[in-house]
Amino acid sequence: MEEARQHSALEELRAGNARFLASEPDLPEAHRPQVAVLTCADARLDPYRIFDAKPGQLFIVRNAGNIADELAMASLRFARSLGVEEVVVLGHSDCGAVQAALNGVDGFDPITTPIQTHLSGTSQDLTEAAAAHAQATAGRLRERLGVPVQAAFYRVEEGSVQWLD
């Protein structure tokens, strides 16, 4: 059964690419991102749609909980080599990674531990905690990258972005 579901999902991807090619897409000639976005891997967050950006304008780093771990940091340093001079840390409402950190869920330590360090002394409200985590991550990135970093918070239920800094 699992193999059949996986096959079906892959078939959907193949069909989707065929539709994409049939639409004669306007493909970017170069990758010259202006801004890097560190955001959550949550499927509801698509920085290209949220910011109405064209392919090639953004350098996107995604992981559960928008964690600034070593891999994310290396990716953001690489973005700088492409000319990116600004970074946005985009947290969001209803974040499962932040919820897991608040609840102390076991088994996700590389995700929950960095989030928990940003939440000490903050509200247990999920929205407030996710915003506090985005702000703390932005502060950490400012120190380590030496570029302007803006914290932002995406409200999934509205589609709006609140700029936090």
pLDDT digits (tens, 9 = 90+) for 68-109: 999 999 999 999 999 999 999 999 999 999 999 999 999 999
- Asked if residue 21 is part of any domain, the answer here is no
Q: Is 40 annotated as a binding residue?
A: yes
> Number of C-alpha atoms within 13 angstroms, CB side, residue 8?
5
- Asked if residue 8 is part of any domain, the answer here is no
- Both tokens assigned to 119: 């939440």
Q: Which domain holds residue 49?
A: 32-163
pLDDT digits (tens, 9 = 90+) for 65-74: 999 999 999 9
- Asked if residue 3 is part of any domain, the answer here is no
- Asked if residue 107 is part of any domain, the answer here is yes
What pLDDT, on the 0 to 100 scale, is given for residue 4? Answer: 62
Domain tally, the chain: 1
Q: Is 95 annotated as a binding residue?
A: yes
- Asked if residue 142 is part of any domain, the answer here is yes
What pLDDT, on the 0 to 100 scale, is given for residue 6? Answer: 64
The CATH number assigned to the domain holding 155 equals: 3.40.1050.10
* Mean pLDDT split into 10-residue runs, the chain, 165 residues: 71 92 84 95 96 93 97 97 96 97 94 92 88 96 94 97 93
- Asked if residue 27 is part of any domain, the answer here is no
- Asked if residue 18 is part of any domain, the answer here is no
- Asked if residue 84 is part of any domain, the answer here is yes
Q: In what order do the strands lie in the sheet with 160-163?
A: 58-63, 35-40, 86-92, 149-155, 160-163
What pLDDT, on the 0 to 100 scale, is given for residue 28? Answer: 81
Q: Is the pTM of this model over 0.85?
A: yes
**Which candidate, 46, 33, 47, places its Cα nearest to that of 85?**
33
